[in-house]
Amino acid sequence: MTWYARSDTGPRKARPEKTQGAAPTESLWLRCEGCDEVILRREVEKNLRVCPRCNHHMRLTGRERIAATLDEGTFEERDADMESDDPLSFKDSKRYRDRVKSTQKATGEKDAFVWGYGSLGGKPVAVGAFVFAFQGGSMGSVVGEKIARMYDGAREERIPCILFSASGGARMQEGILSLMQMAKTCGALAHFREVKQPYISVLTDPTTGGVAASFSMLGDVIIAEPKALVGFAGARVIEQTIRQKLPEGFQRAEFLLTHGMVDMVVPRGELRDKLVTLIDLMAG
Q: Which residues bind other proteins (CB under 8 A)?
A: 79, 81-85, 87-88, 90-93, 140-142, 144-145, 148, 170-184, 186-191, 208-210, 212-218, 230-234, 237-238, 241-242, 246-247, 250-251, 259-261
CA–centroid distance for 84 within its chain? 19
The candidate with the shortest Cα–Cα distance to 60, out of 139, 144, 164, is: 164
DSSP state of 229: B
CB of residue 266 vs other proteins: minimum separation in angstroms? 19
Q: Which is nearer to other proteins, 126 or 229 (CB)?
A: 229
Q: Which whole-number Å values give the CA distances from 274 to 29, 97, 200, 222, 267, in the listed order? A: 31, 40, 11, 12, 10
Using an 8 Å Cβ cutoff, are 164 and 200 in contact?
A: no
Using an 8 Å Cβ cutoff, are 173 and 99 in contact?
A: yes
CB of residue 190 vs other proteins: minimum separation in angstroms? 5
CB of residue 144 vs other proteins: minimum separation in angstroms? 6
CB of residue 256 vs other proteins: minimum separation in angstroms? 8
Q: Which is nearer to other proteins, 16 or 247 (CB)?
A: 247
Using an 8 Å Cβ cutoff, are 90 and 173 in contact?
A: yes
Q: Which is nearer to other proteins, 49 or 99 (CB)?
A: 99
Q: Which is nearer to other proteins, 25 or 243 (CB)?
A: 243
User: What does the angle CA 145 – CA 135 – CA 209 come to, to the nearest 5 degrees?
Assistant: 70
The candidate with the shortest Cα–Cα distance to 120, out of 80, 72, 49, is: 72
Q: Which is nearer to other proteins, 4 or 134 (CB)?
A: 134
CB of residue 30 vs other proteins: minimum separation in angstroms? 28
CB of residue 125 vs other proteins: minimum separation in angstroms? 21
Using an 8 Å Cβ cutoff, are 194 and 155 in contact?
A: yes
Q: Which is nearer to other proteins, 25 or 244 (CB)?
A: 244
Q: Which is nearer to other proteins, 161 or 217 (CB)?
A: 217
Helix (H) or strand (E) holding 4: none
CB of residue 216 vs other proteins: minimum separation in angstroms? 7
**How many CB atoms are closer than 10 A to CB 237?**
11
Q: Which whole-number Å values give the CA distances from 108 to 42, 103, 105, 173, 229, in the listed order? A: 22, 8, 5, 20, 25
Q: Decide the pairing of beta strands 123-130 and 161-167.
A: parallel
